[in-house]
Structure 1
Amino acid sequence: MAMFVHLTPTANAARIRRSGIRATSHGRDGSRGLYCFPVLPSYTLTHQWLRELARHSGPRGLVAVHIRLPDDEPVTLGRYNGSPAATTAAEAVRRTAALDDPRGWEVFVPRAVTKREVHRLRAVKQVTGWRYFPDSNGRTPCTCFGCRVRGEYGSQRLRRRRPHPLDGPAPATPVLLRRIAAAGNPGDASQLTETLHWFGMRRRGPVDQLAHLADHPDPRVREALVRAVANWSTPGVTELLHRLTQDPDADVREAVESTAPEQQSQ
């Protein structure tokens, strides 16, 4: 029997003791199952995923669930950013133990784990492992839209200290409105599109004070307006986008059509 450890929020511990581990994760091929890691002699390597997973685990932290699987159990093995290979549970343990650096590797079991296969649950040190990716410590964190985690502890302070040239944090709404006014009438297209880019990072905004840009002679401004307000929940956005569906420029009309379906159906 091959031994693996599965890390899960502490809130799931009682349910796992009663009925096992559900197949709630998705593999690279779309199959449902769960991720785990072989139990190695090194405590740190065995629980290396803990700090990364703990960023989304809830206030009570994580618990380690040790599971026993048959040696010939079909699983996949691979690094988190690579292509996993099909293998067996026993072979996954052997290959992982033979790696010079097993950090970032993971095993996917394409099914649920039964109560009988759960060996034990144990508390783990919540400071074990790496965050973001192996060897990330000492590297300057990236604050771009793709890398940052919304709502993560300290994320707003980090973005203010290291603002990204394209992804913010965005200036305050009054500052952006002053830039719109300073652009003139009808307004410099480059300055307006840059300002609308920052408006697009907000969830709500002053639709009534931007609606006049729908009549701007430069289609780049009208297209930027669509992308700025498309995801806002502010009243009046639907009417403005509907108006822009009749725009004479094809790129503007296409921008409206590519907005979220829920916005178009309102």
Structure 2
Amino acid sequence: MAMFVHLTPAANTARIRKSGIRAVSHGRDGDKGLFCFPVLSSYTLTHQWLRELARHGGPRGLVAVHLRLPDDEPVTVGHYSNRPGRAHTATTAGDAMRRVAALEDPRGWEVFLPRAATRSEIHRIRAVRQVTGWRYFPNSNGTPPCTCYGCRVRGEYGSQRLRRRRPHPLDGPPPATPVLLTRIAEAGDPGDAAQLCATLHWFGFRRRGPLAQLAHLADHPDAGVRVALVEAVAHWRTPGVDALLQRLSEDPDEDVREAVDYTDRLNPA
């Protein structure tokens, strides 16, 4: 029998003791199952994924669920990056454990079980030190964190301070509204299209905005500016947005009409 550890929020403990681990994750081939890692002699390597998973875990931290699997249980094993030479390979639980244990650096490797784990397969559930492991990726220490929209975690401790210290050129944080309105005014009349589009991009990060000061851009001669206006205000909760979008839905330019139609699909009534 091969021993693996599955890290999960502490809030799931009672349910796992009663009925096992659900198959909720998706593997490389789209199969539903669960991710785990072989129990090695090194405590740190065994629980290496803890700090990274804790970034998305519950308020009570994570626990380690040890489960026993038959040596011939079908699983896949590989590195999370799926780079050449590290791609996931279909094998058995026993072989996956041997492969990982033989690696010089097993950080970032994972095993995927394409099914749920039954209650009888749960060996024990134990508390673990919440400071174990790496974050973001192995050897990330000394590498400046990325603050792009895809990498950052909304609501993560210190994330707002990090974004202000290291603003991303495309993903913010956006300048203050008075600064953006000044840029709109400086663009001129009817206004430089490139400068207006760049400024409207930042308005799109807000939930509300100065609609009255931007509505005149619906008559801008450049269709790109009108498209940028649609994308900027489409998600606002400011009164008057629906009326402006309705007006732009009848724009003579097809790109503008398609932009309004796309936002309607994203925000169905």
Whether 1:237 and 2:241 are equivalent positions in the alignment is yes
- Per the TM alignment, residue 100 of structure 1 is displaced from its structure 2 partner at its CA by 1.5
Whether 1:164 and 2:168 are equivalent positions in the alignment is yes
Deviations 1:70-103 (A, max 9, x none): 1111111111121422111111101111112111
Whether 1:52 and 2:56 are equivalent positions in the alignment is no
Whether 1:221 and 2:225 are equivalent positions in the alignment is yes
Query: What amino acid is aligned across from residue 28 of structure 1 in structure 2?
Result: R
- Indicate the SS of the match to 2:65: strand
- Per the TM alignment, residue 207 of structure 1 is displaced from its structure 2 partner at its CA by 2.4
- Per the TM alignment, residue 262 of structure 1 is displaced from its structure 2 partner at its CA by 4.2
Whether 1:7 and 2:7 are equivalent positions in the alignment is yes
CA distance in structure 2 between the aligned counterparts of 1:135 and 1:19, rounded to whole angstroms: 37
More displaced, 192-201 or 25-34? 25-34
- Per the TM alignment, residue 220 of structure 1 is displaced from its structure 2 partner at its CA by 1.5
What is the aligned counterpart of 1:148 among 117, 131, 152? 152
CA distance in structure 2 between the aligned counterparts of 1:95 and 1:134, rounded to whole angstroms: 19
More displaced, 224-233 or 108-117? 224-233
- Indicate the SS of the match to 2:263: coil
> What is the match of residue 76 of structure 1?
76
Deviations 1:108-133 (A, max 9, x none): 11111111100001111110000001
Q: What is the root-mean-square deviation of aligned Cα atoms in Å?
A: 1.5
Whether 1:43 and 2:43 are equivalent positions in the alignment is yes
- Indicate the SS of the match to 1:226: helix
CA contact (8 A) 1:78 1:84 kept: yes
Deviations 1:193-225 (A, max 9, x none): 111011011222222321211111111211111
- Indicate the SS of the match to 1:258: helix
Whether 1:206 and 2:210 are equivalent positions in the alignment is yes
More displaced, 241-250 or 68-77? 241-250
CA contact (8 A) 1:231 1:260 kept: no
Deviations 1:157-202 (A, max 9, x none): 1111111222211011122122222322222222211110110112
Deviations 1:136-156 (A, max 9, x none): 111011112222111111111
Provide the aligned length of Structure 1 versus Structure 2. 265
- Per the TM alignment, residue 237 of structure 1 is displaced from its structure 2 partner at its CA by 2.5
Structure 1: 5+ residue stretches without partners = none
More displaced, 221-230 or 243-252? 243-252
- Per the TM alignment, residue 259 of structure 1 is displaced from its structure 2 partner at its CA by 2.4
- Per the TM alignment, residue 250 of structure 1 is displaced from its structure 2 partner at its CA by 2.3
Query: What amino acid is aligned across from residue 229 of structure 1 in structure 2?
Result: V
Give the TM-score normalised by the residue count of structure 2.
0.93
Whether 1:126 and 2:135 are equivalent positions in the alignment is no
CA distance in structure 1 between the aligned counterparts of 2:220 and 2:37, rounded to whole angstroms: 57
CA distance in structure 2 between the aligned counterparts of 1:26 and 1:240, rounded to whole angstroms: 41
CA distance in structure 2 between the aligned counterparts of 1:86 and 1:234, rounded to whole angstroms: 52
More displaced, 48-57 or 218-227? 218-227
> What is the match of residue 256 of structure 1?
260
Query: What amino acid is aligned across from residue 49 of structure 2 in structure 1?
Result: W
- Per the TM alignment, residue 41 of structure 1 is displaced from its structure 2 partner at its CA by 0.9
CA distance in structure 2 between the aligned counterparts of 1:158 and 1:32, rounded to whole angstroms: 35
Deviations 1:19-74 (A, max 9, x none): 11111212222221111000111111100000001111122111000000111111
Structure 2: 5+ residue stretches without partners = none
CA contact (8 A) 1:23 1:110 kept: yes
CA distance in structure 2 between the aligned counterparts of 1:97 and 1:229, rounded to whole angstroms: 53
> What is the match of residue 24 of structure 1?
24
> Structure 1 pair 118/143, CA: closer, same or farther in 2 (3 Å)?
same
